[in-house]
Amino acid sequence: QVQLVESGGGSVQTGGSLRLSCVASGYTPDCMGWFRQAPGKEREGVAGLYIGSGDTYYADSVKGRFTLSQDNAKNTLYLQMNSLKPEDTAMYYCAAKGLGGRWDWATNYHYWGQGTQVTVSS
């Protein structure tokens, strides 16, 4: 059974930091990504990692502030989020897929976690 379990969300003030974690089990993906969805908005790709190459990709809105990393021994993907802004407020989801398709297209992902809420107050 494939499972992706996120943790690390919470409430912070503008400029604060959070680190999200995603533990994968039952599946070895080629690519893992973080997506977010705010109320009334579409789900958007935040960051993606191709595990074999180590290549990482970020949405323009988070470049320079968010950083992906992985711990292969723990099958864990991390998203370090610094300099958080109120517009980063959303439910954040971890997702996993194979090699095909763009990293930032949600429809390309086969497996999803349950989400973790991030709230940034001004």
Please report the pLDDT score of residue 72 as a whole number. 81
Q: What is the mean pLDDT of residues 25-37?
A: 93
Backbone torsions φ then ψ of 10, nearest 5 degrees: 165, -165
Contact 88, 12 (CB under 8 A): no
| Residue 28 pLDDT | 84
pLDDT, residue 75, reads: 86
Which helix (H) or strand (E) is 106 found in, with range?
none
For every residue of 16-57, DSSP letters joined together read --EEEEEEEES---SEEEEEEE-TTS--EEEEEEETTT--EE
Return all residues near 82 (Cβ < 8 A) that are at least 6 apart: 17, 65, 66, 67
42-93 residue pLDDT tens = 999 999 999 989 999 999 999 999 999 998 888 899 999 999 999 999 999 9
